[in-house]
């Protein structure tokens, strides 16, 4: 890599941490990304968080009192149950977002405790991701967390933390999120046909993190990012070629960016490793890390199929690697050959 390219790469990665990962971490919501399974644990966790942020407790109690239309003061536990724990958690998240972002779209009315809209509506990406993949499914926490990053990016563009030079990215962010959801759903279908896929519930999240990286590139480079991805979407390149084009434009590719994001939040482990070999899953096989190889390969397969074909039929009797190709296009054929060669060499006596 040339000195100029290295400089651009450092600039992009530094901007990622300074303008996205750092501000998101400053909201202090990461401990709440995994939701306890029982109602009592959820309520207890939220009570603790309100005590950590006591300035939000009085507005919340005012809001619930007005909704209950009661003069009797209920306990905070009762008020959380009345408002529902998921909605109460989102109420906290919106306010913690606002403390970092300071934008009118999220401003709390301290006199009434009301937000500009319902918490679920203000966090539309995380709420939608959770609903799309099932409120009680094994994907809910991971998809909710990924959607929350989209929510943060959506509001981040309206702040002084990033300077979009007047470029509005609302539609672009919405389209990236929609693509990530569609790709994620296909990945879950493919995963069912891949025997013994370790960390299967993380596979669809890879698609959302990849799309989030596109959003972040556009937040950091608003004058070139949207047009770049518009042109890229119109061309059917294999994934490694797309990544090389991103490197030429931004210094790093979306897999690298997604890897940094995943590594920054424990909930996404092991997606940091998965995204680090995005476009080249065979690299994980070189290190005999079959779990990462398979997770990256199945996620990429879903992304590529969804981007390349409008209609995809999958028979319930198929297994990946039999009638459904495990790897596609030239780069995936290469990966398959590499794996076959390794498997053969492992069988030979030393």
CB atoms within 10 A of CB 77: 13
Which tokens hold the place of 207?
């698609």
CA distance 37 to 115: 27
User: 59: how many CB neighbours lie within 10 A of its CB?
Assistant: 19
- How far, in Å, CA of 109 to CA of 85, rounded? 21
Q: How confident is the prediction for the chain on average, in pLDDT?
A: 84
Q: Any residues with CB less than 8 A from the CB of 4 and at least 6 apart, and which?
A: none
Question: Taking the CB of residue 28, how many other CB atoms lie within 10 A of it?
Answer: 15
Give residue limits of the domains in the chain. Answer: 3-34+123-347
Q: pLDDT for 175-204, tens place per residue?
A: 999 999 999 999 998 888 777 788 889 999
Stretch 313-338: mean pLDDT, rounded? 44
Q: What is the distance between the alpha carbons of residues 280 and 81, in angstroms, rounded to a whole number?
A: 47
Q: Tokens 């006596």: give the residue.
A: 349
- Cβ contact 262:271 at 8 Å: yes
The pair of three-digit structure tokens given for residue 97, joined into one six-digit string? 């977002």
Residue 265 to residue 234: CA distance in whole angstroms: 33
Per-residue model confidence as pLDDT tens digits over 214-236: 999 999 999 999 999 998 887 76
* pLDDT, mean of residues 91-107: 96
DSSP state of 6: H
CATH class of 3-34+123-347: mainly alpha
Task: Report the number of secondary-structure helices (H) and strands (E) in the chain.
Answer: 18, 0
């Amino acid at each position: 890599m040339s000195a100029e390219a290295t400089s651009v790469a450092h600039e992009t990665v530094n901007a990622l941490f300074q303008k996205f990962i750092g501000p998101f971490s400053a909201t202090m919501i990461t401990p709440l990304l995994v939701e306890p399974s029982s109602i009592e644990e959820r309520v207890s966790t939220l009570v603790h968080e309100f005590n950590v942020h006591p300035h939000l407790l009085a507005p919340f109690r005012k809001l619930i009192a007005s909704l209950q239309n009661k003069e009797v003061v209920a306990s905070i536990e009762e008020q959380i149950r009345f408002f529902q724990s998921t909605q109460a958690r989102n109420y906290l998240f919106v306010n913690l977002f606002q403390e970092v972002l300071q934008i009118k779209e999220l401003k709390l009315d301290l006199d009434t405790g009301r937000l500009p809209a319902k918490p679920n509506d203000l966090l539309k990406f995380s709420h939608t991701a959770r609903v799309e993949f099932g409120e009680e499914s094994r994907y809910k926490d991971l998809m909710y967390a990924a959607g929350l990053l989209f929510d943060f990016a959506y509001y981040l563009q309206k702040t002084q933390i990033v300077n979009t030079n007047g470029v509005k990215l609302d539609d672009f962010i919405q389209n990236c999120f929609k693509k990530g959801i569609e790709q994620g759903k296909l990945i879950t279908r493919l995963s069912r046909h891949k025997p013994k896929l370790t960390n299967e519930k993380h596979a669809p999240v890879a698609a959302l993190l990849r799309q989030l990286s596109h959003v972040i590139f556009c937040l950091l480079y608003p004058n070139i990012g949207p047009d770049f991805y518009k042109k890229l979407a119109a061309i059917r390149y294999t994934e490694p070629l797309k990544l090389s084009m991103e490197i030429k434009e931004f210094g790093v590719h979306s897999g690298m960016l997604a890897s940094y994001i995943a590594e920054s939040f424990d909930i996404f482990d092991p997606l940091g490793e998965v995204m680090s070999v995005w476009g080249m899953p065979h690299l994980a096989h070189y290190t005999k890390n079959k779990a990462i190889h398979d997770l990256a390969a199945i996620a990429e397969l879903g992304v590529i199929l969804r981007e390349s074909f409008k209609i995809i039929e999958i028979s319930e009797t198929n297994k990946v690697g039999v009638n459904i190709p495990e790897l596609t296009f030239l780069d995936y054929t290469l990966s398959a050959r590499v794996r076959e060669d390794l498997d053969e060499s492992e069988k030979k006596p030393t």
